[in-house]
Amino acid sequence: MSKPLSIGVAGLGTVGAGVLKLLAENGDIVAARAGRPVTVGAVSARTKGRDRGVALDGLRWHDDPVALAADPGVDVVVELIGGSDGPARALVEAALAAGKPVVTANKALLAVHGAAIAEMAEARGVPLAFEAAVAGGIPAIKGLREGLAANRLKRVAGILNGTCNYILTTMREQGREFGDVLEEAQALGYAEADPSFDIDGVDAAHKLAILAALAFGRPVDFGAVHVEGIREVTAMDIAFAGELGYRIKLLGIAGRDEAGISARVHPCMVPVAAPIARVDGVFNAVVAEGDFVGRVMLEGRGAGAGPTASAVVADLIDIARGRHTPVWGGALDAAPAVAMERHRGAYYLRLMVLDRPGVIADVTGILRDQAISLESMLQRGRAPGEAVPVVLTTHDCEEAAMRAALDRIAGLDAVLEKPALIRIEAL
């Protein structure tokens, strides 16, 4: 068998320890599939003495992660530190400058600096692999870049954050409110102490920016992704969604048409019959649509030590075998980004209004003025002079028109709180 591939792992948290464990337990399988052993030669982490549940005996230790790039015994650098800047970025750039392949699970780094890092890797002819950066153990990167390489992709979408999917699933199944379920998710370890990146949609947007770059052959453009989170989704909206035949999911959706490329992350109502509507709990899913293959969906665990380590080691096997795919799949496309205001689709609106004559006429008059037509309306019971929910669904219209209508509707004195808006997607 050929000379072992020696790796240096920077970051020994959940995923880093998972990589060491996987290589220790499945080393024979990995060696057979890689054509040579894949061994850990050096590591780096913030704290040396901590018990991580894996043996570090005999491994070279570097207090400075950037030193891994200069270690002559390291063939491939595995960056599992995280963060869009700081030590993670410095390590990746140093490794590429030294001509060493990089494997990373760092979606924030790739979303923010991916274009420059990819340019650096390709200028030096060095592999940059990042299967673990999107959807954990789901082979979404390989699926888009290799399995669907013969297709022109029209759309890529998915449930890209397990924390949000767990919260929305639990809210639906138990009829509980967002804040209550978030606290439970934190206690169970499904949400961070500061959950903002997850629940505000930023984590999913990082991943979508990477998927859009792969799907449409464009530089990563995180700034072009429209981002909304799930803080404002209520148990009432989830219940109404069920009555209307939908489930609410936080989706990342990127598409291409004659106007350019759009990318957006926000809560969506999807039909209960859609396969993605049945992806619950902490699971992720990625859907791609190609001109010849049609629609393909991959589902699995999107985070955690085992699934993410699986994706990291799959990249290491490719490097050991000498398989090297261009970072974004070939020549880059200069198609423009399409602003969210130009999105067309159907909408769910929930208004809390005073139950008095003329209110519905005022609301529908505003929608008429913006050329927005209604598909359905729900109103439960009567409570004269008190607040009641009114639910409207629309036919397809432009986002800009809907926003203009909502601003006017929110200004009506009979509308007692900010209108709830959720986009309807037929995935």
Residues with catalytic function = 207
Residues 6+ apart with CB under 8 A from 94: 66, 69, 70
DSSP state of 101: -
Q: Residue 61, Cβ neighbours under 10 Å: how many?
A: 11
Are 200 and 231 in contact by the 8 Å Cβ rule? The answer is yes
Tell me if residue 232 falls in helix, strand or coil: coil
Coil, helix or strand at residue 398: strand
Of the candidates 199, 248, 202, the residue with the CA atom closest to the CA atom of residue 226: 202
Nearest partner of 285 among 322, 240, 253, judged by Cα: 253
342 in Cβ contact with 263 (< 8 Å): no
Which residues, in sequence order, are CB contacts of 314 under 8 Å at separation 6+? 131, 139, 142
The two tokens of residue 263 are 């990318």
